[in-house]
Structure 1
């Protein structure tokens, strides 16, 4: 059975020196491998195809049969790695904390320790457009889930 560690090594070798990064690797029974990638400057189908071809060349189907799917996480998928947060600085996030709080605000900053959200503080008697802004620092270990809020303008 091919392991996630083997797949990660092959991916590291393949994407080294590019802006592509690994979001998630799953290896299911029967060697069904699913890889989610992202890139700082956007990930196209063509770039996924190139990575797929290079990774596939590093494994021998004669030794062990497998299926490999490489794609990018959907817009409705939660953010999983620090680089995804950094890439989405300036966008609105919906965050659920481990203690059950639900926050929505603009991602102002992300570093290796956590994120800074700018949230509107509900103020009684004022319209939402007049609510004051407050910054909230959240360490990654306090975040249960964070998703990009899709906005249509």
Structure 2
């Protein structure tokens, strides 16, 4: 009888994997990326986690201009059809969940900054301190913020953490903060 992967790991003195599926995250992302790209989307994340007797495949996609529910449904159908035709998920039942990242997603790539132009952001700097400002321009190397009416350019390499600030009193499409300056932080 052939040894299982877990038996071989135990015999070699290696920690036994808790994974119940054989889905390699990198292979899964490489499989999904061209599918979502045909809809003009970027694959932000793909994660498989246990959910009772099933597994949950969460796929986060985003694109410039955002998504409608119809767009999400279209991408979901394409991913589902491709997964049904391939064994990338291995044996066993799974649930597919496709969505776009929420506003609480950290800004880690230039495209995240670009997609949030006009939004208020709090930036933690590598040199220490925090800066809060409105994103005016985002390039491949840096972002220009409006900080209390003054422009400030910050290189992405100097950012430790950046998070969009939720503004409840800002009118849609308005680049100006609420009259009373109220900003709600996540």
Q: TM-score, normalised by structure 1?
A: 0.75
Higher-RCO chain (CA-CA 8 Å, sequence separation at least 6): 1
Distance across 2 between alignment mates of 1:64 and 1:81: 34
Q: Which residue, out of 158, 161, 186, partners 1:142?
A: 158
Assess if the C-alpha contact under 8 Å between 1:92 and 1:104 holds in 2. yes
Q: Which runs of 5+ in 1 are unaligned?
A: 121-132
Distance across 2 between alignment mates of 1:47 and 1:18: 9
Q: What is the aligned length?
A: 141
Q: Which residue, out of 49, 66, 69, partners 1:45?
A: 69
Distance across 2 between alignment mates of 1:6 and 1:45: 27
Distance across 2 between alignment mates of 1:145 and 1:53: 34
Please provide the CA RMSD for this pair.
2.5
Larger fraction in strand: 1
Q: Which residue, out of 31, 38, 41, partners 1:10?
A: 31
Measured against aligned partners, the alpha-carbon deviations of 1:85-130 in whole angstroms (never above 9, x if no partner) come to 112112221112234421111112112222121212xxxxxxxxxx
Partner-residue secondary structure (3-state), 2:31: helix
Which residue does the alignment assign to 2:46? 25
Assess if the C-alpha contact under 8 Å between 1:10 and 1:55 holds in 2. no
Assess if the C-alpha contact under 8 Å between 2:23 and 2:90 holds in 1. no
Q: Does 1:107 align with 2:123?
A: no
Q: Which runs of 5+ in 2 are unaligned?
A: 1-21, 171-186
Distance across 2 between alignment mates of 1:106 and 1:63: 45
Measured against aligned partners, the alpha-carbon deviations of 1:117-151 in whole angstroms (never above 9, x if no partner) come to 1212xxxxxxxxxxxx3322222232222222222
Partner-residue secondary structure (3-state), 2:23: coil
